[in-house]
Structure 1
Amino acid sequence: MWRSTLDRINKGTENIAAVFLFTMVLLVFLKVVTRVLIQSSFPWTEELSRYLMIWITFLGASIAFNYAAHIGVDFVVDKLPRMLKAVVQVIAAAACMVFFLLLIFKGFELMGRSMIQSSPALNLPMGYVYAIIPISGILMSFNLVDSTIKKIRLDE
């Protein structure tokens, strides 16, 4: 049940990131075309594409956990005995989890404080832009737990 739920969440995250990437490419293309054709462009396209890039980056970081695509120094850990290797992996996961919990709690705090601030061109509450910080913290936490369990089970 855990695995299938997490797979659905990760697939949904990938789909959202893909839609955002496609939209961002279209917006940048629109901006370039309007600059060439009418020597002017819509100010909101640059702002929205920047916000989409931020969301894509944070969503991509959470997706990378699913594929074990984050940089790690496994050379030293792989040389350790099985039990010590598991201990090191749990300690590393705990350190990451502390960071993710900071992302979640401080992200919600930042999001709440910035809801009164609006973006210049879109007049969008900045809290919506900052919402990706706690969202990605939650997604990365789920994937961290899953990948740590998989690593420890592989070593048994």
Structure 2
Amino acid sequence: MKRLEHLFVLLNGWALIAMLGAMTLIVGANIGLRYLTGQSLSWADEAARYLMIWMTFSGAGLALRYGGHVAITNLQEQLPNRGQQVMRAVLALGLLLFFGYMVHVGIQYAQRMQFQVTPALRLPFLYVYAAMPVGFSLLIVHLCLIARPFILAGQFKSRASDDGTADTMPGAASG
């Protein structure tokens, strides 16, 4: 199971790197062409925008996994250890329900937009809007993979390695 989780995280990270690399190349080429030839790629801004959308939704799960999202822990820090665990469990359940709902909404949006095409790339908007259900599905998977240590001890996966070590959330009781 750990190998599968490691592969999942690795593929998610490499997909983000590929999207960032493609966006960098497209924007860089467009800037170079504009200054060297006076012409630019008509589709470059649109492609970069859609890559940014996909990166945002695809990377949100990794940010959640490593505790990278904003957290306000004042109330949690005032609770005893058992209260903190209950609060984190309720939070994880609420996130899971919200992410599931957003997958549903994202699928509906994508289906509604499947027959419209983007102005420059002539790509069906289905592919743009598919970032939403895909990203929230990734959030669900990442949340399920970190839920136990997060609920029990307020721990996230370590940024340095994904070998099962964890970073403790500030203010979380250890144990």
What's the TM-score, normalizing by structure 1? 0.92
Task: Write the distance in 1 (CA, Å) between the matches of 2:97 and 2:60.
Answer: 16
Q: Shift of the alpha carbon at 1:47? A: 0.9
SS in 1 for 2:113: helix
Superposition map of 1:132-151 within 5 A: 132-151=131-150
Name the counterpart of 2:37: 38
Match for 1:61: what amino acid? A
Paired positions, count:
155
Match for 2:24: what amino acid? V
Question: Quick check: 139-148 or 45-54, which moved more?
Answer: 139-148
Q: Shift of the alpha carbon at 1:145? A: 2.2
Task: Write the distance in 2 (CA, Å) between the matches of 1:118 and 1:152.
Answer: 43
Name the counterpart of 1:88: 87
Task: Write the distance in 2 (CA, Å) between the matches of 1:31 and 1:22.
Answer: 14
Superposition map of 1:1-156 within 5 A: 1=1, 3-154=2-153, 155-156=174-175
- Long gaps (5+) in structure 2: 154-173
Question: Quick check: 96-105 or 15-24, which moved more?
Answer: 96-105
SS in 1 for 2:114: helix
- Long gaps (5+) in structure 1: none
Bigger fraction of residues in helix: 1
Identity level (%): 29
Task: Write the distance in 1 (CA, Å) between the matches of 2:135 and 2:47.
Answer: 19
What's the TM-score, normalizing by structure 2? 0.82
Task: Write the distance in 2 (CA, Å) between the matches of 1:47 and 1:111.
Answer: 18
Backbone CA RMSD of aligned residues? 1.5
